[in-house]
Homo-oligomer: A and B are copies of this chain.
Amino acid sequence: MRGDDGVEVLRVAGIERAGPGDLTFLASAKYAPHLAGTRASAVVVPPDVETPLPSLVSKNPYLFYARAAQVLHPPAHPAPGAHPTAQVHPSTSLGDDVHVGAFAVVGPRVRIGARTTIHPHVVLYEDVVIGEDCLLHSGVQIREGCRLGNRVVVQNGAVIGGDGFGFARADDGSYEKIPQVGIVVIEDDVEIGALTAVDRSSLHETRVGRGTKIDNLVQVGHSVTIGTHTVMAAQVGVAGSTHVGNNAMIGGQVGIAGHITVGDGVVATAQSGIPNSVENGEMISGYPAIENRKWLKASAVFPRLPEIARRLRQIEKKIEELLAKR
C-alpha cells in the first residue's frame, strides 16, 4: 500500500470511467499514461509504476484486482431455503444454507452441498450430486447421476450430462442408439459457460478437471477428459474420447478431433482444427493445425499463391526457351 491508506473504495471501475469511491487497476506499466486522467479513489499497480494516488502495489496487479473485486462485489446470496414453488423431491439431501429458486426441479436422491445457490428454473435429474458453495444459474439442466465438485459455477442454460452422440449403423443404413450409461464429473473450482454442453459418457465418465474454465457455447463430447487449469474459449468443440491436458489454452471456435490427446500446456489459437494428438507445450494454429510459427509464415505467403503460380509459368517458359536455343 502506498499513499493514503484511509481511502474508502466501494466498487471497481475501468481506469477511464472510474470516479470517487472506485478502485481501478493498471495491468502493466505501459498503461501508466492513463493514470494521469483517472478520477478513481485508488488503483492497483505493478511495483514499477509511481502515482500520487492511493495505490495497492502487486507483482500481479490483475490477480490482486480480481481478489479485491471479489470482496467489493460478492456474488448475491439469496436467502437459504427452497422457494415454495420449487419441486424438491423428499429424498433430496440439502446442506446448510442452500438456496433453491423458483420452479427449480430437484429429483430423487439428489445431494446438494452447503451454501450452494440453485437459481430459478434449474433442473437436476435423479442422483445428481452438487458440492458446496456452487452457483448454478437459471436454465441449467443437469442430467441423471452427474456430479459437480465444490465452488463450481455454471452459467445460464448450460446442459451437463446430455446423451453422447453414439449410434451403431445397421445394414439398411439406419442408426441404432447406443445408450449413454456413463456420467459427467465436474471437479472443484470449474466454471462452465452459458449454453455449453458437456455430454455424458457412453460407458464411464466425461471429466472436467479442477480449476478448468470453459466459456459459452462449447461442446464437450462423451468420454472426453480435460485436465486441471485449462481454459477453453467460446464455441470450442471437443469430439468424443479425447483427452485435453492440464494448463492448456484453447482459443475460440477451435475444433478437436475424437480419440486423440492434446498435451499439457498446449496453446491452440482461435479456429484451429486439431486432427491428431499434440505434444505437451506446443503452440499450434491452422486447419489442419501445425506449429504456430510455421502457420504464421505459410499464411503470409498464401495470398501470393496466384503470383507464385504466374511466376512459375514464366520460369517454365524461359527454361523452354533456353533449352530450345541449344
Residues of A within 8 A of B (CB): 11-14, 17, 60, 62-63, 65-67, 69-70, 72-73, 75-76, 83, 85, 87, 101-103, 105, 119-121, 123, 125, 137-139, 141, 143-144, 153, 155-157, 159, 162-163, 165, 167-171, 173-179, 181, 189, 191, 193-195, 197, 199, 203-204, 211, 213, 215-217, 219, 221, 228-229, 231, 233-235, 237, 239, 246-247, 252-253, 255, 257, 270-271, 273, 275, 286-288, 290-291, 294-295, 297-306, 308-309, 311-312, 315-316, 318-319, 322-323, 325-326
Contact = CB atoms under 8 A, between A and B. Distances in A.
A167 B66 contact: yes
B62 A168 contact: yes
A73 B194 CA distance: 30
B273 A257 contact: no
A263 to B, nearest CB: 15
A253 B234 contact: no
Given A235-B235, A302-B305, A315-B319, A141 B165 contact: no
A176 B66 contact: yes
Given A221-B234, A288-B299, A312-B311, A173 B137 contact: no
A178 B69 CA distance: 7
A223 to B, nearest CB: 9
A63 B168 CA distance: 5
A138 B156 contact: no
B120 A123 contact: yes
A165 B234 contact: yes
Contacts of A275: 270
Given A103-B105, A167-B213, 17 more contacts: A17-B204, A60-B169, A66-B167, A103-B121, A137-B143, A138-B141, A139-B159, A162-B194, A173-B229, A174-B189, A175-B213, A237-B252, A239-B252, A301-B306, A312-B315, A322-B322, A322-B323
Contacts of A125: 138
Contact of A312 (B12, B102, B162, B312): B312
Nearest to A68: B179
A31 to B, nearest CB: 13
11 contacts: A14-B203, A66-B179, A85-B85, A101-B105, A105-B121, A120-B123, A138-B141, A165-B215, A199-B216, A233-B239, A315-B319
